[in-house]
Structure 1
């Protein structure tokens, strides 16, 4: 029995890590680019914003709702999911209040502009990493219970991790000019999935009730939407020379939509 548990644990962790590595795969599209340029940055930031808004409203919010629905009637579940969503928005509003926000940096010196892009890239990486923690735990627990359920879930997560890797790597690459730093940033974000799995399994599993999962997913959805609307899309617009912002946003939505449709 212990041997079987050990085997299942290893399989579940391997599946989780494989899904996480696709975040790094997304960054390779940026690493192999010739040179960073403002139009690529605009497209990439809008791509990230569109992907975040779409996955938050179409998938993550409804994970919160369905988790609450295990414990409450549909109306109450929807109300609690909505409150969790706006709690996530409020959290980012508070962060925005206390972290200096150089919205005018684009018209300032090049150094200030670079710092602004670094901040935007950092916020995107933090939001996506926060999203990856419960995602990794969900993948791990699903595979541990049943590989038949866990593997398709991991495949779906792996596909939509690819544009997330692009979303992190582009602003980091543009701000620093370093492909190594862009790759490192996506590696750190990718590690959040197996880290979330291990932390959850070792410490948090007894407390991870459906309501806790629901609150976490709801807050992540709200935080990601706020980040996209407050930071990513406005910054993308500043660097655009034409329609890069709207094209990037639609492409980001389409990439996430495709990854979700494939595994429905």
Structure 2
């Protein structure tokens, strides 16, 4: 662990988001062993992912943003509120522009600008879309440590990366397995599935560089990432987890995901 602590925060964020990408690839690798996944299990995993992201949004992002704004003086609620709303608006804008297709929907129900892109590409882009705020959140968390935020620690940033990684596992499977059912080879399905996580290291590095360059942006950046993550949870993860009719199972899984992320952040942070 000491070697990790001695690294530049940019490299710490890069390694952490490479880990989250790796877990996405591990989930996508299920396609080498299975062609289908039990719908109840998939709904539970999506619900669990939603719970992790909700907890991470508060414990790892919003709470530190509020505390930092309080220490800076002025209107305490303003930076977190502005950043949170900004994160939601950013994802809403990308959601309206970027062509993508959520798991379980027909090709003609694709969102964003109309395009002739293949269904496989649209499925990957849907997962890629919500990996942007996840990578950004991890990068900003390491940036908070570098900026000297009293409530920030390497342990809490690592806890966030672990939490994001855990919920990335079902996301990789949610892309690769449907592609396999549609006739893609196992290898091609895996490649597409893991590709959805490529954006996380990119967003992570951009996040840590931004807050290191402009420390005053940190409360806005933390809450921006939180707002973007909550947008993804409400617009995508929770609805998808309820599609199969396993509402109670998905809801309990969401609660469990919240608890796991909360425990990780409190215990390690």
Higher helix fraction: Structure 1 or Structure 2? 1
Please tell me whether residue 127 in structure 1 is matched to residue 133 in structure 2. Answer: yes
Q: 1:189 aligns with which of 181, 184, 200?
A: 200
**Contact 2:16/2:138 (8 A) holds in 1:** no
Report Cα offsets for 1:70-108 as digits up to 9, x if no partner.
Answer: 3224xx112331232123223333334445676897367
SS at match of 2:72: coil
Please tell me whether residue 215 in structure 1 is matched to residue 220 in structure 2. Answer: yes
Q: 2:260 aligns with which of 251, 255, 263?
A: 255
TM-score w.r.t. the length of structure 1 is 0.72
Report Cα offsets for 1:22-78 as digits up to 9, x if no partner.
Answer: 3145332552473242334322322222222221133311222122223224xx112
Partner Cα distance (2:102, 2:212) in 1: 41
Distance 1:245 1:118, change over 3 A: farther
Aligned to 2:71: 70
Partner Cα distance (1:40, 1:103) in 2: 18
Distance 1:19 1:12, change over 3 A: same
Please tell me whether residue 22 in structure 1 is matched to residue 19 in structure 2. Answer: yes
Q: 1:224 aligns with which of 223, 229, 236?
A: 229
**Contact 1:56/1:225 (8 A) holds in 2:** yes
Once the two structures are TM-superposed, the CA of residue 169 in structure 1 deviates from its matched residue by: 1.7
Aligned residues: 244
**Contact 2:49/2:168 (8 A) holds in 1:** no
Q: 1:179 aligns with which of 186, 190, 206?
A: 190
Partner Cα distance (1:182, 1:25) in 2: 11
TM-score w.r.t. the length of structure 2 is 0.71
SS at match of 1:239: coil
SS at match of 2:77: helix
